C-alpha cells in the first residue's frame, strides 16, 4: 500500500537501504552498483530503486535535506515497508583539522540543534548513536579498502546557513557538520532498527576547500561501496 510520500507496493523495497540526501546520488548508485535495478519511487522526485548487490537485494533512495525530510522517508520505510537496516550516505563539512576533504566520516553519534528529542523527552538530553554492529562493520570495511575513515561524533544541524556556531564543537572532537544523521539515529532507537551514517567530506569549513556539485552527486564512490558492503556483511 503506497504511503503519502512513497508509491512502492509492499515487497518492492528491500529490508536494507542506502539513503543519500540527493535523489540523483540514489540514481547514480543504482546505475553503477546494482544489477536489475527497478525504480520504486518518483513521488516529489525522491527517486528510489531496488536491485541486487553481489546477489543480495538492497534498495537506495534519496531523503532530501534536513531532519524533517529524512524523518518522513525513514518513518515510512520502517513502519510501512519493514526496512530494518538504514545507512545514510551523505556529504558533510569538516570542522576538524585532522579530517580532510574526500575523507570518510563514519558517525558513531550525532549531536544536533534539532528539538526532536526535547519534543519527546522534555528535560532530557538523549544521545543519538548509530548501531554498533553496522559501525564496526563499516569501519573494518573502510580500513580493508585502505580509505581515510574517521569514526566519531558529527553535528546534525537544522540549518545550512546560520544557526548556532557548530565550528566550536570541532575543538571537542566533533568531526563534521551535516543535516540528517541525528534524526535517522533517533528513529533507529524509537523503532529498534539498525541505523548508520557514512559521510564524505565535501568541504572544509576551517580551510575553505570545496568540491563541485558534480563530485557530490556522483564521484564519492568509496562511501557508496562501504555502505553497500556494510548492508550485506
Ligand atoms: O549530500 P547530502 O546527503 O544531502 O548531505 C548534506 O548535504 C546537504 C546540504 O548541502 C544536507 O542534506 C547535508 O546533510
Ligand atoms: O550540511 C552540510 C553539508 C556539507 N557541508 C556543510 O558545511 N554542511
Q: Express each pLDDT in 24-52 by its tens digit.
A: 999 999 999 999 999 999 999 999 999 99
Is 218 within the bounds of a domain? yes
**Best residue for ligand 2 mutational test, from 105, 167, 176 (most atoms within 8 Å of Cβ):** 176
Separation of CA 89 and ligand 1 centre (Å): 9
CB of 201 within 6 A of ligand 2: the answer is no
Residue 124, H or E segment? none
Q: Where are the beta strands (DSSP E) in 72-127?
A: 85-94, 104-112
**Best residue for ligand 2 mutational test, from 91, 162, 217 (most atoms within 8 Å of Cβ):** 91
Is 3 within the bounds of a domain? no
Q: Summarize pLDDT for 168-185 with one digit per residue, the tens.
A: 999 999 999 999 999 999
Three-class secondary structure of residue 41 per DSSP: strand
Our measurement of the distance from residue 91's CA atom to the centroid of its chain's CA atoms, rounded to an integer in Å, reads 8
Q: For the chain, how many structural domains are there in total? A: 1
Please list the residues that pair with 39 across neighbouring strands: 49
Is 78 within the bounds of a domain? yes
CB of 91 within 6 A of ligand 1: the answer is yes
Is 2 within the bounds of a domain? no
Ligand index nearest the alpha carbon of residue 183? 1
Question: Stretch 202-210: mean pLDDT, rounded?
Answer: 95
Distance separating alpha carbons of residues 21 and 30, to the nearest angstrom: 14
Percent of the chain whose pLDDT exceeds 70: 100
Is 7 within the bounds of a domain? no
Nearest Cα to Cα of residue 18 among 57, 45, 65: 57
Q: Which residues are catalytic?
A: 203
Separation of CA 93 and ligand 2 centre (Å): 4
ipTM over 0.95: yes
Is 4 within the bounds of a domain? no
CB of 64 within 6 A of ligand 1: the answer is no
Is 128 within the bounds of a domain? yes
Q: What is the DSSP letter of 103?
A: -
Domain with 40 in it: 16-232
Residue 62, CA atoms < 13 Å, CB-side half-sphere:
20
Residues 28, 34, 37, CA angle at the centre, nearest 5°? Answer: 90
Q: Summarize pLDDT for 61-120 with one digit per residue, the tens.
A: 999 999 999 999 999 999 999 999 999 999 999 999 999 999 999 999 999 999 988 899
CB of 206 within 6 A of ligand 2: the answer is no
pTM: 0.97
Ligand index nearest the alpha carbon of residue 201? 2
CATH code, domain with 74: 3.40.50.1580
88 among the known binding-site residues? yes
Distance separating alpha carbons of residues 120 and 172, to the nearest angstrom: 27
Give yes or no for a contact between 163 and 113, defined as CB atoms under 8 angstroms apart: yes
State how beta strands 56-61 and 48-53 pair: antiparallel
CB of 160 within 6 A of ligand 2: the answer is yes
Give yes or no for a contact between 86 and 19, defined as CB atoms under 8 angstroms apart: yes
Nearest Cα to Cα of residue 34 among 48, 46, 50, 22: 50
The ligand 1 atom at the shortest distance from the C-alpha of residue 216 is 1
Is 31 within the bounds of a domain? yes
Amino acid at each position: 500500500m503506497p504511503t503519502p510520500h512513497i508509491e512502492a507496493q509492499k515487497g518492492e523495497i528491500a529490508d536494507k537501504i542506502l539513503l543519500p540526501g540527493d535523489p540523483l546520488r540514489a540514481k547514480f548508485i543504482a546505475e553503477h552498483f546494482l544489477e536489475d535495478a527497478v525504480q520504486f519511487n518518483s513521488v516529489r522526485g525522491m527517486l528510489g530503486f531496488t536491485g541486487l548487490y553481489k546477489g543480495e537485494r538492497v534498495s537506495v533512495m534519496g531523503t532530501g535535506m534536513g531532519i524533517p525530510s529524512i524523518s518522513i522517508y525513514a518513518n515510512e520505510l520502517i513502519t510501512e515497508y519493514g526496512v530494518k537496516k538504514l545507512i545514510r550516505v551523505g556529504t558533510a563539512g569538516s570542522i576538524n583539522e585532522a579530517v580532510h576533504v574526500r575523507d570518510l566520516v563514519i558517525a558513531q553519534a550525532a549531536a544536533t540543534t534539532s528539538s526532536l528529542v526535547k519534543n519527546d523527552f522534555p528535560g532530557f538530553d538523549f544521545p543519538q548513536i548509530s548501531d554498533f554492529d553496522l559501525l564496526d562493520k563499516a569501519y573494518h570495511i573502510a580500513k580493508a579498502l585502505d580509505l581515510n575513515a574517521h569514526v566519531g561524533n558529527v553535528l546534525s544541524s537544522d540549518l545550512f546557513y546560520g544557526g548556532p556556531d557548530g565550528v566550536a564543537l570541532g575543538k571537542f572532537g566533533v568531526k563534521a557538520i551535516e543535516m540528517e544523521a541525528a534524526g535517522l539515529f533517533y528513529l533507529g532507537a524509537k523503532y529498534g532498527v539498525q541505523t548508520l551514517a557514512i559521510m564524505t567530506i565535501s568541504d572544509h569549513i576551517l580551510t575553505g576547500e570545496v568540491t563541485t556539485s558534480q563530485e557530490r552527486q556522483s564521484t564519492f564512490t568509496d562511501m557508496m561501496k562501504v555502505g553497500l558492503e556494510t548492508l550485506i556483511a
